[in-house]
Structures are given as structure tokens and as C-alpha cells.
Amino acid sequence: MKNKNRILIVGGSGFVGTQLAKALVRNHEVSCTYRNEFTALPGIDYIPFHGIHEKDRCTSLIQKVKPEVVIFAAGSNDPERAEKEVNQSQTVHLTGANQMLTAAEYAKAKYIYLSSDWVFSGMDGNFGEADTAIPFHGLGKTKLGAENYIRSRSLNHVIIRCAPLLGRGTLDHPSWVDQLREAGVFERPRVLSDRSIHNPVHVRELALLIERVIENDIRNKTLHLGGLTRISEYQLALKIFKTFGYDVKHLSPAKTGPQNAIQDYSLNSTQTLKLLKTEPLLLQQSLDLLK
């Protein structure tokens, strides 16, 4: 029988946090933090939490839950938002993540930090775990700062760099796909990057990876999680619109990026796939799961 762990998901009311909670509650005891609104799932304890950058608040949260595993899933993966809201982005992704790590260490909890493919430069693509991360965007710089702090401080951590995650969020925390579908239903125009390439992956593969990390007590590793297809946001939106039967005439490509060059942030997930011991989903299979 699998060991049941007490898991705290910081940012558990968000799109990713909710999907992780849904999967992990099957075998574990799960608590989720929220700041504003949340959609309650059965069997999960929801805890209001403000002041993520304050050491005392992080410590009292950890003392209350006494988790064996802390998953840091707070913040947003939107690089444009991070450029506009620099202070808020640093507060959550860097200061908050670091304070939470310090608190988690008192409880000797495993610390799982969700990072992203934005830590890379976008120059080459197919980035492996051993490749040097040189971020171009503020979000990537902040995430990398937190990664480096975690690596230097913790003896029981796992950093998971994720490609954009496909899945359905909640009414209060819609995913990127939900927002795109809303534009499709209400026939609102959307302009999307055709220059920035990622390899999106279904959020259920992240949940599976975290289950393996916990079950096998994997420590002090950085893992990459990306899908099999490298695709721009615009091309992906076209596929999603076709999957749901929306009119693609409302979508148009934005030519952004330095000198209009293609930037490829795709992640090489070879190490992670060995750990998962399952066949990765094809992009169309991931899109079919969204229906």
C-alpha cells in the first residue's frame, strides 16, 4: 500500500493547484491555501493565507498543517503580467517561495517548486536539465532566482520546470485554455504569438510526476516536463479552436520577439519520462482530454 502523506499546496486554489489537489487527494491528505476565491473540492482542507513574503505567516501555516510535502504552486506563469507587476511577481515567485522553503525546513518537509520554461533564453529549444538557464524575461529571472536559492539551501527539494500546462481551471481561476475557449464561444478576437515556441503538456502529467516524486522520495533534482509537440501559441490556439468547432477567423498571429526571431523554449523531458514509466500523451490526445 502507498504511504499517505500530508501535502500542503501553496496556491492550491489556482488552476494548477486545483488540478494537483484533485489528483493527489486520492492517496494523500491535502490542504490548499487560497487568498481570495476558491472552488471547494471534496476531501480537501482550504486555508486562507495572506502575506506569503512574511516569515512568521509562512511559519504559522506550516505549524498548523505539519506537512510532509509542500508544493509551491502560487503565482502566475504569464510573462507579460510579470513585466507589468514586477513587485508582485517577485513577492510571490521569489520572496514567497524562499520564505516558504525556510518554514518547510522546520517541519523537515519535502519542497516541490513549480518553475517554468521561461528560465531559458529561447535561443535553441529542446533544453535539458543540464543546460545553462539564461532567462530573457523578468518571470524567468525571478523563477531562476528562487531555483538557485532552493538548491543552495535545501537537502530535500525537487524543482519541476513545466512547459505551458493544458487543462481546465475553475470559474474563479480559469486556465489559458478556458480563456481561449471563452473567446471562441463569444467570438472575441484574440491575437497570439506566432514566434514563441513551447511544448505544452497536459496538467495531469504534472500530477503523475509529482505522485512519482513523492512515492519514490526523489530528492534534490531538477526535472523538465514538456510535451511531444513544439508549437507556437497561435498554432496551438488554431488546433484548440478546431477541436471545439469555433471559427478560427477570430484568431490572428502577433509578430513579437527580438528582430521578429523565433524563440524556442521547449524542454527536453527524457529524464522525466524514465521516471514516469508511461507513454507521453500526443498533443491531440491532450486536447481531446479538454472536451
Ligand X SMILES: NC(=O)c1ccc[n+]([C@@H]2O[C@H](COP(=O)([O-])OP(=O)(O)OC[C@H]3O[C@@H](n4cnc5c(N)ncnc54)[C@H](OP(=O)(O)O)[C@@H]3O)[C@@H](O)[C@H]2O)c1
Residue 222 is a binding residue for ligand X (CB under 6 A): no
The nearer residue to ligand X, 176 or 246, going by C-beta atoms, is: 176
What is the separation, in whole angstroms, between the first and last Cα of the chain? 33
Which residues lie below 8 Å from residue 124, measured CB to CB, with a gap of 6+? 264
Distances, alpha carbon 155 to alpha carbons 6, 108, 115, 122, 226, in Å: 19, 9, 18, 30, 25
The nearer residue to ligand X, 97 or 214, going by C-beta atoms, is: 97
Count the residues of the shown chain that bind ligand X, applying the rule CB under 6 A: 25
The nearer residue to ligand X, 160 or 218, going by C-beta atoms, is: 160
Residue 11 is a binding residue for ligand X (CB under 6 A): yes
Residue 35 is a binding residue for ligand X (CB under 6 A): yes
- In the complex, what is the shortest distance from the CB of residue 249 to ligand X, in angstroms, rounded to a whole number? 26
Residue 91 is a binding residue for ligand X (CB under 6 A): yes
- In the complex, what is the shortest distance from the CB of residue 149 to ligand X, in angstroms, rounded to a whole number? 15
Query: Mask of contacts with ligand X, 112-141, x by CB under 6 A?
Result: --x-x-------------------------
- Which of 67, 122, 135, 164 is in the footprint of ligand X by CB under 6 A? 164
Query: Mask of contacts with ligand X, 171-190, x by CB under 6 A?
Result: --x-----------------
Residue 227 is a binding residue for ligand X (CB under 6 A): no
- Which of 69, 74, 150, 236 is in the footprint of ligand X by CB under 6 A? 74
The nearer residue to ligand X, 3 or 63, going by C-beta atoms, is: 63
DSSP string of the chain? Answer: -PPP-EEEEETTTSHHHHHHHHHHTTTSEEEEEESS-----TT-EEEE---TT-HHHHHHHHHHH--SEEEE--S---HHHHHHTHHHHHIIIIIIHHHHHHHHHHTT-EEEEEEEGGGS-SSS-SB-TTSPP---SHHHHHHHHHHHHHHHH-SSEEEEEEPPEES---SSS--HHHHHHHHHHTT--EEEESSEEE--EEHHHHHHHHHHHHHTT--SEEEEE--S--EEHHHHHHHHHHHHT--GGGEEEE--SGGG--EE--B--HHHHHHH-SPPPPHHHHHHHT-
The nearer residue to ligand X, 3 or 39, going by C-beta atoms, is: 39
Residue 75 is a binding residue for ligand X (CB under 6 A): yes
The nearer residue to ligand X, 162 or 236, going by C-beta atoms, is: 162
Residue 162 is a binding residue for ligand X (CB under 6 A): yes
- In the complex, what is the shortest distance from the CB of residue 173 to ligand X, in angstroms, rounded to a whole number? 4
Residue 266 is a binding residue for ligand X (CB under 6 A): no
- Which of 62, 73, 146, 218 is in the footprint of ligand X by CB under 6 A? 73
Query: Interface with ligand X by CB under 6 A: which residues?
Result: 11, 13-17, 34-36, 49, 52, 73-77, 91-92, 96, 114, 116, 162, 164-165, 173
